[in-house]
A and B are shown apart, each in its own frame.
Chain A
Amino acid sequence: MPHATRPSTNESAFVLSALRENLRLDSRALDQYRPISLKFSSDPDVYGQTDVRMGKTRVICNVSCEVITPYSDRKFDGVFNINCELSPLIGAGVEIGRPDQAELLLSRLLEKSIRRSNALDTESLCIIAGQKCFHVRADLHVLDHDGSILDACCLALVAALQHFRRPDYEVHGEQVTVFDVREREPVKLTLQHQPFCVTTSYYDAGTIMVQDATLLEEQCREGEIVVSMNRHGEVCQIAKYGGVPVDALSVLSVVKQSWEKVKMMDSVVREALSKDERERDKGGRMKAELSAENERVMERPVG
């Protein structure tokens, strides 16, 4: 089976000449994102399932957890895994279990942005040090590929982590009771910050910068810079794997542009989360009454 055809010379020449005139095929501005649609599961008992669409790109994320024994070298930490897969629904060239380079890069960038930046505080997942902890796993499936799958994946993942609730538990000495969802309201995860990824594709030796490229624009680009940061402007990582060289000042301006986009994505997620919360609370139950959670101090302990 031959690989996916590269775009024809007519198409790549046209995309480039359109970009030189500041035009994109779907009439967006060069730095404009497609409208992002973020949906949560409609089932009231299910938390942590998201469905993100950016134009034709579609990603779903499912966060789940179970109780396991922590790693012996990390007694005080829980375990958090991210598993990202490109589904064969995207195209005939994709096989499950045989990740190609694009899939590997996608997993690696997600790991760097979310796990290594400690977005999810793994110490909060510990139940009894050295014996029991929560294992939170996030499974991402890319269902449709029209460019910007990393941006969509990161958004789906962060929204799912913020939406997810783990079971409540009580510790009496050595005894742990993990309550079922029907016994006690489940508890939200502790997220230190919410990182988002912004991919910037560039053309014409780095002079034209485009955000949220469609699949055709991605196939014609000379290279890409991926910036992960949160809404406070703290950069988690900057990645540029190969591609045509770009000068440093351009990279700095890309980071600044990405900050604006991250703020936009963050507001999309917040709005969707609060709307979902209002809908789930429709029965008039007061969440504050039902929750067994005490007021938590949200700073990290010193030392």
Chain B
Amino acid sequence: MAAAMVLLPGENIPTDKLPKPKKGKLTLGPGLQHTPPSTISATTAGSLQVDHRKAALWLEHAGGRYQPSVGDLVIAQIHHSSVETFSCALTPHTSFAILGQLAFEGVSKKTRPQLKAGDVVYARVSKASKWEDVEIECFNSATGKAEGMGQLKGGMVFDVRPAFARRLMMGTDKEGVSKGGVVVLEEVGGKVKFEVAVGRNGKVWVDSGSVRETVMIGHLLRGADEGGWDVEGQRKAVKKALRDV
């Protein structure tokens, strides 16, 4: 893939860019809309990404606004609790997401989770539609296990852009190269022990033993996000930061 094509909202994708699907079905990802019979247009501004193997296309945009979609892991802050549910905020100034009080591992009607306003949980979006409240859960409803979700105690929550959070969660491909181009956490993890949880809504929770180390990790995350450091730049910054601590 050469330089990715940048599209503005409303532009149609030229047919020569479309991948040839084997089964005749093309998967459209975020940022694209299909108007039958055969026009695909962009709904946001972004660069077009094509995966020929899976016959999928989507737009990558560096937006600052997070929109919940099913299956996303998010860091939610409890705002208030009611009889059966907690109302949580995923992003400021938006409607609350509903977290059922029983949507945790190992709770029953008699033993409810002890969460207060201001507590932070790691959850997965179970329902997200334009016309209903977003619903999140802190356990895998199929298996009943927490799988790392639940209340996050201590540590610090840093704000990053949702696109950066997505890159952080992309993982590594077969050669061990980070797909998202973000290596700060792995590099720092080589020297410093810490726990981290990344929320797709633009929040990263970090808990290291000491305040100084957590501040350093937060500083590195912010630099990689806003400073736009590439992989080499990130490695250099991590080395420098580790020397100072």
Contact = CB atoms under 8 A, between A and B. Distances in A.
Interface string B113-145: 000101110000000000000000000000000
A12 B119 CA distance: 11
Interface stretch (A18-26, A249-257, A281-289): A18-26
Chain A, interface size: which category? 20 to 34
Interface string A9-36: 1111110011001010111000000000
B101 interface: no
A25 B218 contact: yes
B89 interface: yes
Nearest to A12: B118
Interface stretch (B29-37, B38-46, B90-98, B167-175): B90-98
B92 A8 contact: no
A10 B89 contact: no
A93 B215 CA distance: 29
Interface in B79-113: 79, 89, 92-96
A14 B153 CA distance: 11
SS of B interface (majority): mixed
B25 interface: no
A8 B95 contact: no
B211 interface: yes
B154 interface: yes
A302 interface: no
A248 interface: no
B77 A8 contact: yes
B212 interface: yes
Q: Which 5 interchain pairs have the tightest Cβ spacing?
A: A92-B93, A14-B156, A9-B118, A8-B120, A5-B89
Given A1-B94, A10-B205, A92-B92, 19 more contacts: A2-B95, A4-B93, A5-B79, A7-B118, A8-B157, A9-B118, A10-B154, A10-B156, A10-B157, A11-B156, A13-B154, A14-B154, A14-B156, A18-B215, A21-B211, A21-B212, A23-B212, A25-B215, A25-B219
Interface of B: 77, 79, 89, 92-96, 116, 118-120, 152-157, 205, 211-212, 214-215, 218-219
Interface of A: 1-14, 17-18, 21, 23, 25-27, 91-93
